[in-house]
Amino acid sequence: MTLQTQIEQKLAALEPEVVQVENESHMHNVPANSETHFKVTLVSDGFEGLMPVKRHQKIYALLADELSGPVHALALHLYTPQEWQARGGERPDSPNCRGGGK
């Protein structure tokens, strides 16, 4: 099982309306086929009433094993359904890699 699939399965515990896990490792100075840099977009009623830091802490708790090992970077875009709708179903693009000598 890929690390990306593992992350998707763990995030299912939040009963998301939308979940997108994108492996962005190819955009960084890492070996081919790495799974080190991810972007997560997740829309869940479970974020209702939570400030962004509390939303992030929920994700960190679910992905503690991955974050303590193979995952080097994790970009989180976490919304309630109302916030997601107000954004038109769009999340920010990732910036270009600025390090690693690539």
* Confidence bin at 94 (pLDDT 50/70/90): confident
In the chain, the amino acid numbered 52 is P
Q: How confident is the model at residue 73 (pLDDT cuts 50, 70, 90)?
A: confident
Q: Is the pLDDT of residue 100 over 80?
A: no
- The CATH H-level superfamily of 3-86 is BolA-like (3.30.300.90)
The number of angstroms, rounded, from the C-alpha of 45 to the middle of its chain's C-alpha atoms is 17
Residue 32 binned pLDDT confidence (cut-offs 50, 70, 90): confident
Close Cβ partners of 39 (under 8 Å, ≥ 6 residues apart): 20, 21, 22, 24, 74, 75, 77, 94
